[in-house]
Amino acid sequence: MGKVSLEGIEFHAYHGVFAEEQKLGNRFTVDIHVETDFRKAMLEDSLRDTVDYGKLYKIAKSHMQEPVRLLEHLGHLMIKDILIAYPNIQKVNIIIKKHNPALGGVVNYSVINVSFPEDYD
C-alpha cells in the first residue's frame, strides 16, 4: 500500500453560492491524496501500475472549470472521476480551500475535506 499525493494545486474558479463569487471568482487550492497498492510499480518501474498524478491533475482542473455552488459537491465530483479512472484505489481524500471567502471579515480560507470510503458509507 502506498500514497500518491498532489498538494497545493492552485486555480482561479467561480464556485460559490453568492452571485459575486460566481461573477468574480476566487483563488482555490486543492490537495489530492490517493492510497493504492503500487508494489508492482515499485518493482517494474511502469506508470501503468500506479496512479498517474498527471491524470489526477487533469481531473481536478476539469472540475475547477465547471462552476458549482458547494465545495462539498465539487469534492464529490472529483472523487467520483478518480474512482472511475482508478477503480482499485483503496482511499481518496480531497481537500479544497477557498481563499478569502466573502464573509464580511478577514478569513484566510474556508476548507472542505471529503474522503472515500469514509464519507460514502
Q: Which residues are catalytic?
A: 98
Distance CA 14, CA 48 (A): 34
DSSP 117: T
Place of cell 476548507: 111
Any residues with CB less than 8 A from the CB of 76 and at least 6 apart, and which?
114
Query: Pairing between strand 109-116 and 2-13?
Result: unpaired
Enumerate residues 6+ apart whose C-beta is below 8 A from 108: 99, 100
